[in-house]
Structure 1
Amino acid sequence: MKKEKILPSFIYLYLSLPILILILGWIKLYLAVPLAVALVWCCCRAVRGESAFWTPQWNRDMVRRAVFIVLILALWVYFAGIGGLAWQNPDHYYRNEIFHILVDKPWPVRVSEEGVIRALNYYIGFWMPAAAFGKIFGLSAGFLFQAFWAVLGLGLVYTCICDHLRRFEKWPLAVFIFFSGLDVVGDILWKRDASDIFSTYHLEWWSADFWEYSAFTTDLFWVFNQVIYAWLILLLLMRQKDNRRIVLIWSFGLFTCSLPFVGMIPYLIWLMFRNFRDQRRAVSGKAGRAGKKTEKKLWGETAAAWIRGLFTLENVLGGGIVGLLSYSYIRTSSTSQNSLLFLPGKISLMNYVFFCILEFGVYAIAVYRYRKNQKLYWMTIVILFLCAFIRVGTGPDFSMRASIPALTVLYLMVVDALAESSRKKEWKVFIPLVLLLCIGAVTPIHEMARTVEGNAQYYEQNQPLTKIFVQESQVMQSHNFSSNADENFFYKYLAR
């Protein structure tokens, strides 16, 4: 294998392994083998077509820097409670039980509940490698593998960020960990009370009755099973210079991060037409040199090449396998069945504008100088402005998760602006951005403080740190995590 293909191979392996385990471990063997072979073949083609990633010149200083970054990522994962190594937020209790079921029960997971065969159908992609490991070495080893898998995924995410920046630095990682809206300002102004600043209260709940966008640390601490894959898929998509692999890359999100998968749709469409625009510009240059007689011919060739570049084996066969299998697996879950509903109009426009300014508007204004002429900038603002209006079911989960891709793009714009303003010594841009990031950092600091407080309670009570699980029935009888096996196409026709 060529040296420049090692990193793309790791990324595609990380993305494809969950669905490959589903195929080989859950589906009838006569279907599983050809589907797995076809998907591996498509991924190999995708790796061959992937452009080389930027990498630093490795020396002793770079190795020390890499070790430091890995340690920081491991510490971040530890504070998030992934793998049960530290105190966990209450949402982990359900995720612990889902993982326990995956390790303990035969695959595919079916359980008889009150005379009805219930089947697990949740976006379980993140857990599949760790569950396979846990089936061999035990539940505790499986939980440890979760932490390893999270650190590995975050390392790949940060590698994509370094590829975007064309540099290998520590400060973009710090910005990534502490990137957040100005929730502390909203909490003070909305509640007229500053006491929350000095507690471990979850600051993002200041407007949660209506809207909520999540800081990156909050995402990792509460929905790690979605956000790591969401970041990696979005960042890999954004570096694509043609359309040959974009549907395949995007399709991996349906099994691993369903709501961010939906939030990536505008960026997928934008990429398709951006790549066509770039091809058109190249053709226009050739047409100018070749004369007007050949212009129509070149344009026709460009359109044909764009279509051929979109309808590749990677996209049609690989993306089709991943997308159709994932959809057939999760389609009867409550998340996928509920309609998208716009919020009632009872909330004043002034409050909503206030929310938008604090959550993303201040950053959009800060980078305006460098991004005002870019369609991607305006599209991201529109997405973030509209996303909070949409709900799936009764809570703000859709806006919190579907906004992850747009907030990731906004983060890239912020670090680009920091680097450019520092290089050009444009302190009118640099200083406000740093101040905004420092104010926003209060939110992730609060999340970390909750872990510290939770660990301290175990220590003060002289109790060993224990993972908390809900009852199996709370997962297998919940429409959010399971469905009637007879009503699920995957379990009825494809599963063993």
Structure 2
Amino acid sequence: MKPNWDGILTKASYLYLSLPFLIFCLAWLNLPSAIAFSSITLVSIFLCLKNVHSDFSINYLLSKNPRTIWVSLLIILFIIFFSGIGHYTYQNNDHLYRGALFADLVKYDWPVMYKVSGFPGHFLEGKTTMMTYYLGFYLPAAALGKAFGLEFGRFALFFWTFIGTVLVVFQTGKYLRKFNYKLLLLFFGWGTLFFIGALYKNSFLDIYTETANPLWAGMILYADSNLGLIYWTFNQSLTAWLILLLIYNKGPKQNTLFLYALTFFLSPFAFVGMFPFIIFSIWKYYQGTLKDDLWKNVKHYLSFQNIIGAALVVGLNFIYIDSNKAGKFFQVLHHRPKILIVFYLLSWAIIAFLISSKFKKNALFWLVVIVLIPLPFFQQGYGIDFPGRLSIPALFFLMLLVGQFLIEEKSGWRKWAVLAYMSVSAVWHIGFEVGKPIIWTSAENISHKTDWDDKLMTSENPKLRKVGKILKDIEGKDILIQDHKTIVNPNNNVIWNYMADIEGSRFYRWFAKKK
């Protein structure tokens, strides 16, 4: 009897998404709250899993070429290995904060508390604070780190990310009903042409060595690739994608709102960006007329997990993050028309136009466009999170539509144009996001473990001498580890992103475990 891979992997996806919230309830809350809320969560998880029904046609597609599946797993493992997660390879600057946050989750008792010092003039200086952040993705690995040490915890985080990527790629293949190398190329090669603007304003070498700012259109106008999201904000993107796919892969209506609620705990910016697509999914599967068949359709959503479970996740997480002041800054923005138009074109408008002939009567396609147009005009918090992260669901759906277009469109100039677009995107994003850590990791090992730098510096070729000097400069540094070690490192100038003063915190007063 062949394994029921669809059932196994779909149920694994539910556990992957809900386990962090269950850990949060058990380990961060006082005893009465922990008992009550973890019980509700466990019942919700059990009922969700009970509603999962397998698609045996997917099992057939998976079994057609097992070699492709195994090679695909190795490719995914290779790509995640060079993400920097786990501290094994070159890390981008975001790991300064992510590594520090994870280290604190392993080092400190839960809930993580701080006595802030070393930030003179800061509004948190001298305050007792609590880690207040969308930290769900880190909790399973951090729990293992507490039990077996920080290094094992880092490995667990790397493996947790690998598992999440596998589950997302599987659900993407299920949506497109394809499991082959083209699926991997679509998923990891998908991205925008945003980088063209950066190359126009800066040299390739300056971008590669991070001496130039790639945000050529300003701090807010930013759009990322799938690989960019995994390498920089894996904690937000993987979970949001997985939730979307579970819902749109004909997921049980009884589970829809519970899954959506988990997005608020795991990826709150994507939670907002996902809202139109949740409404659309309800409308898409609505049968009959609004007047006569309302109850017949609504009753399918009235499950324990959709009402009690979802309300718990949203309510508890809102009270938890409400005391964080960093996310309360909001403003409406204006942009120069020329820059805005170029940003739209490079980010999504060109590829949307190329596939528009096929999807001009597709409501999902137009919903993607409607969502993407207004995002650049708003800012939440002090960074790129509003347009750069709220766009996660919309850009992912655009990728799925492109995949559908390439599968179903047999010929024509538009198909060739889409293939050209995807080729440019894949070459840049895979070459840059994966190639860069390969090169820097190699340079790190060469500079520390060989005398190549000395030999190159004595070369008669000036270009080789320049390479030798770069290797020599690296020799005295550790370029692989970007880590503040702790969030309260005085070099961390954005500590307010990760904590809140417990004074006035309803979560701390009502629900938090006291020490």
Please say whether Structure 1 and Structure 2 have the same fold, judged by a TM-score greater than 0.5: yes
Aligned to 2:231, which of 202, 210, 221?
221
The percentage of aligned residue pairs carrying the same residue is: 26
Maintained 8 Å contact 2:97/2:487: no
Q: Residue 200 of structure 1 contacts residue 450 of structure 1 at CA under 8 Å; is this kept in 2?
A: no
Contact 1:388 1:399 in 2 (8 A): yes
* Counterpart-to-counterpart distance in 1, 2:152 and 2:272: 33
Give the CA deviation at 1:253: 1.2
- 8 Å CA contact 2:87–2:154 kept in 1: the answer is yes
Q: CA deviation at 1:448?
A: 2.3
Q: Which residue of 1 aligns with 2:506?
A: 489
* Root mean square deviation, CA, Å: 2.4
Tell me how far apart the structure 2 counterparts of residues 203 and 386 of structure 1 sit (CA, whole Å). 24
Counterpart mapping for 1:319-358 below 5 A: 319-339=310-330, 341-344=331-334, 347-358=335-346
Residues 476 and 134 (structure 1), Cα distance of their counterparts in 2 relative to 1, 3 Å cut = farther
Q: In 2 relative to 1, CA 438–24 (structure 1 residues): closer, same or farther, beyond 3 Å?
A: same
Please give the residue correspondences for 1:92-491 in structure 2 after superposition, counting only pairs within 5 Å: 92-114=95-117, 115-189=126-200, 191=201, 195=204, 199=208, 204-240=214-250, 243-276=253-286, 279-280=287-288, 300=292, 302-339=293-330, 341-344=331-334, 347-421=335-409, 425-441=410-426, 442-462=428-448, 467-470=481-484, 471-474=486-489, 478-491=495-508
Cα distance in 2, alignment partners of residues 160 and 349 from structure 1: 38
Which string of whole-angstrom CA distances, capped at 9 and with x for unpartnered residues, describes residues 290-327 of structure 1?
xxxxxxxxx53x21122322332121111111111221
What is the one-letter code of the residue matched to 2:76? Answer: L
Contact 2:52-2:252 within 8 A present in 1 as well: no
> Aligned partners of 2:327, 2:257: CA distance in 1, in Å?
20
Q: 1:465 to 1:477 in 2, by over 3 A?
A: closer
Note the alpha carbon deviations across 1:203-254, whole angstroms, 9 max, x for none.
Answer: 8522234400111111111111111111111211222466422210011111
Deviates more, 1:200-209 or 1:412-421: 200-209
- The amino acid that maps onto 1:150 is T
Q: CA deviation at 1:457?
A: 3.4
- Map Cα deviations across residues 40-91 of structure 1 (whole Å, 9 max, x no partner): 2112222222342452427876221111111111111112111111010011
The separation in 2 between residues aligned to 1:249 and 1:487, in whole angstroms, is 30
Q: Between Structure 1 and Structure 2, how many residues are aligned?
A: 468
SS in 2 for 1:479: helix
- Shift in CA distance, 268/18, structure 1 to aligned 2, threshold 3 Å: same
Q: Deviations over 1:372-428 (max 9, x none)?
A: 10111111011111112211134322111110100000000000000111xxx3132
Q: Tell me: CA distance 1:137–1:402, structure 2 relative to 1, closer, same or farther (3 Å).
A: same
Q: CA–CA distance in 1 between the matches of 2:340 and 2:135?
A: 34
Relative distance call for 1:492 and 1:240 in structure 2 (3 A) is farther
Letter in structure 1 aligned against 2:25 = I
The corresponding residue for 2:40 is 38
Asked if 2 retains the 8 angstrom alpha-carbon contact of 1:328 and 1:489, the reply is yes
Structure 1 distance, partners of 2:222, 2:177, is: 32
CA contact (8 A) 2:207 2:214 kept: no
Deviation for aligned residue 1:197: 9.2
Question: d(CA) in 2 for partners of 1:217 and 1:395?
Answer: 20
TM-score normalized by the length of structure 1: 0.88
CA contact (8 A) 1:184 1:439 kept: no
Distance 1:195 1:28 in 2: 53
Deviation at 1:101, TM superposition (A): 0.5
CA–CA distance in 1 between the matches of 2:53 and 2:505? 39
- The C-alpha deviation readout for 1:349-381, integer Å capped at 9, x for no partner, is 232112111110111111112111011111101
Compare the two structures and name the one with the higher helix fraction: 1
Is the alpha carbon distance of 1:58 and 1:448 closer, same or farther for their aligned partners in structure 2, counting shifts above 3 Å?
A: closer
Q: In 2 relative to 1, CA 366–51 (structure 1 residues): closer, same or farther, beyond 3 Å? A: farther
| Alpha-carbon distance between aligned partners in 1 of 2:177 and 2:279, rounded to the nearest angstrom | 25
Query: Equivalents in 2 of 1:364, 1:30: separation in Å?
Result: 51
The amino acid of 1:306's aligned partner reads: N
**Could you list the runs of 5+ residues in structure 2 that have no partner in the other structure?**
118-125, 449-474
Q: Deviations over 1:17-62 (max 9, x none)?
A: 1010000111112221232122121122222223424524278762
For residue 65 of structure 2, give the secondary structure of its aligned residue in structure 1.
helix
Deviates more, 1:144-153 or 1:389-398: 389-398
Q: 1:41 to 1:393 in 2, by over 3 A?
A: closer
| 1:134 to 1:210, Cα distance in 2 relative to 1, 3 A | closer
Structure 1 unaligned segments of length 5 or more: list them: 284-298
3-state SS, counterpart of residue 118 of structure 1: strand
Over residues 188-211 of structure 1, what are the superposed CA-to-partner deviations in whole Å (9 max), with x where a residue is unaligned? 55x3x6655994557852223440
Change in 2 beyond 3 A, CA 1:476/1:309: farther
Cα-to-partner distance string for 1:116-149 (whole Å, 9 max, x where unaligned): 2110011111110000110111100000011110
Q: Distance in 2 between matches of 1:129 and 1:412?
A: 30
In structure 2, C-alpha distance between the alignment counterparts of 1:26 and 1:372, rounded to whole Å: 49
After the TM superposition, which of the residue ranges 457-466 and 363-372 deviates more from structure 2? 457-466
- Separation in 1, partners of 2:50, 2:130: 38
* Equivalent position SS for 1:367: helix
8 Å contact kept, 1:183–1:203: no
Please tell me whether the aligned partners of residues 83 and 437 of structure 2 are also in contact (alpha carbons under 8 angstroms).
yes
Alpha carbons 1:86, 1:465 under 8 Å: kept: no
